[in-house]
Amino acid sequence: MNIKLGEKIRQLRIRDNRKQEDLAKALGVSSQAVSRWEANGGYPDLELIPAIANYFCISIDELFGYSMERREKLSAIFEKADSFINAQCDMTECVKLLRDAADEFPSEPQVFVKLGQALSMLGWKKQLPRLYHTNDTDYTHTDVEYNSKNEYLYQAITAYEKALTFDIPVSDRDVVTSLIVSLYSVTGQFDKATALAQKQASVIVSREVLMASAAKDEEREKYRGEALIALLTQLCITVESAYCENLTKSAALISFAQYCESVFCDGKCGMLHNYLTHVYVNAATLTARFGKDTDTAFEYFKKGFDHYKAYCEIPREGEYRYTAPLVSKVTFTAKSFPIVPDFYWKNTMNYMTDELKERIEADPYFAECFD
């Protein structure tokens, strides 16, 4: 790259309506030195570069004219990485792409956010973390010995830990924190998971809840709807894991799912379609395995699959607008809705009873569960 540092300094000085003498005085050099730089007759000493960047309130990259080139290269990397992630394909090439990017751009937080995501997906594809239960307890246990052999999950943790050292947007920090707490737990690092979780704000002072109180009129309705969606989403995750890990009867799971559906009374559940898929499918698994009721389990499974199909039909472009009365002011960027992993149904079938699995497999409506 042809570095025209003197020309850049001159442009910035004129932009800020400064004289050569002003810059020279701020840097502790002569006016002749500044004049020489601007005439491309020499370069500032290396130790002056940060001071010059600070004087003009820009980064060193911008001073050297590297900012645009850097942004363009990073944009191309992220676009390619997102194509891998959205396609749910083998993540090996994506991981290599992002590792190379981390070497080249070690101060770019989004590289580490996406690297953590790619490594986590690769780990789940290579060796699905698992739980187990024993006859002497109603609770499931994390299979730490098995999960600890998954090197990709540890590498994902390292990438996420690096991302959290940067000043990243609150929304990104929330997502990364949630993911890393889960990975800590899956790999048996419960102390780290607890310590990080304890540092977070309580749900009472969450952004969504407070904005619903802070705003007024129509805007209040918008934020109240966003809070309702956010809280129901987290309740779905918590209720599902609570009942599944306690191996409790599925009736309460179904009651909760039906309550969520009543909020989205027009059947347009948006993000909740994804989470209600998990609730119904897990209720089907529990009902078949512990309730010995294959007919009811099959109905629950179909309900979950219907939510899955509705979620997949959401366009991943533009805005998604909720239309039920309680959330009718809420819109989301459709591409922010996560893609369902392509291995979800294959893994789900591993937990079904043989009788339920055979019944599902015999129905062509569920063919993609076995692809």
The CATH number linked to 49 is: 1.10.260.40
Please, what's the largest Cα pairwise distance for the chain?
Answer: 89
Task: Kindly give, in sequence order, each residue whose CB lies less than 8 Å from that of residue 263, ignoring residues fewer than 6 positions away.
Answer: 228, 232, 324, 326, 327
Domain count, the chain: 3
Tokens found for residue 349: 């079938």
Rg (the chain; Cα; Å): 27
Asked if 246 and 262 sit in the same domain, the reply is: yes
In this structure, the answer to whether residues 188 and 211 fall within a common structural domain is no
Cα–Cα distance measured from residue 50 to residue 58, given in angstroms and rounded to the nearest whole number? 10
pLDDT string in tens for the chain (371-residue length): 446 788 888 888 888 888 999 999 999 999 999 999 988 888 888 889 889 988 888 777 778 766 667 778 888 999 999 888 877 778 899 999 999 999 988 888 999 999 999 999 899 888 877 777 676 666 677 888 888 899 999 999 999 999 999 888 888 899 899 999 999 999 999 999 999 999 998 988 888 999 989 988 889 999 999 999 999 999 988 888 777 666 556 778 899 999 999 999 999 999 999 999 999 998 998 889 888 899 999 999 999 999 999 999 998 788 999 999 999 999 988 877 877 877 788 888 888 999 999 999 999 999 998 87
| C-alpha 215, offset from chain centre | 27
> How far lies 308's CA from each of 7, 188, 305, 312, 321, in Å?
57, 31, 5, 6, 18
Residues 351 and 228 in one domain: yes
Task: Indicate the residue among 154, 179, 200 that finishes a domain.
Answer: 200
Spatial distance between the Cα atoms of 68 and 61, rounded to a whole number of angstroms: 9
Domain C-terminal end among 147, 177, 200: 200
Query: Do 220 and 137 lie in a common domain?
Result: no
Res 217: pLDDT:
83
* 241 and 357 belong to one structural domain: yes
- pLDDT score for 2: 46
* Same domain, residue pair 91 and 192: yes
Same domain flag for 159 and 232: no
Bridging pattern class, strands 131-133 and 319-321: unpaired
Record the tokens describing residue 246, joined without a space. Answer: 């306690």
Both 250 and 368 in one domain: the answer is yes
Q: Enter the tokens of residue 361.
A: 């497999």
Query: Which of the listed residues 136, 171, 200 is the one where a domain comes to its end?
Result: 200
Beta bridge partners of residue 133, listed in sequence order: 140
* Spatial distance between the Cα atoms of 143 and 10, rounded to a whole number of angstroms: 63
SS (H, E, C) the chain: CCCCHHHHHHHHHHHCCCCHHHHHHHHCCCHHHHHHHHCCCCCCCHHHHHHHHHHCCCCHHHHCCCHHHHHHHHHHHHHHHHHHHHHCCCCHHHHHHHHHHHHHCCCCHHHHHHHHHHHHHHHHHHCCCCEEECCCCCCEEECHHHHCCCHHHHHHHHHHHHHCCCCCCHHHHHHHHHHHHHHHHHCCCHHHHHHHHHCCCCHHHCHHHHHHHHCCHHHHHHHHHHHHHHHHHHHHHHHHHHHHHHCCCCHHHHHHHHHHHHHCCCCCCCHHHHHHHHHHHHHHHHHHHHCCCHHHHHHHHHHHHHHHHHHHCCCCCCEEECCCHHHCCCEEEHHHCCCCCCCHHHHHHCCCCHHHHHHHHHCHHHHHHHC
pLDDT of residue 249: 61
- pLDDT at position 336 is 78
Residues 100 and 249 in one domain: no
321 and 342 inside one domain: yes
Q: Which position has the token pair 């009736």?
A: 251
245 & 339 share domain: yes
- Are residues 195 and 208 both part of a single domain? no
Domain extent at residue 25: 5-63
118 in Cβ contact with 81 (< 8 Å): yes
Contact 173, 199 (CB under 8 A): no
d(CA 252, CA 256): 6
Residue 183: CATH number of its domain: 1.25.40.10
| Cα separation, 344 vs 125, whole angstroms | 10
Contact predicate 90/119, CB 8 Å = no
pTM of this prediction? 0.71
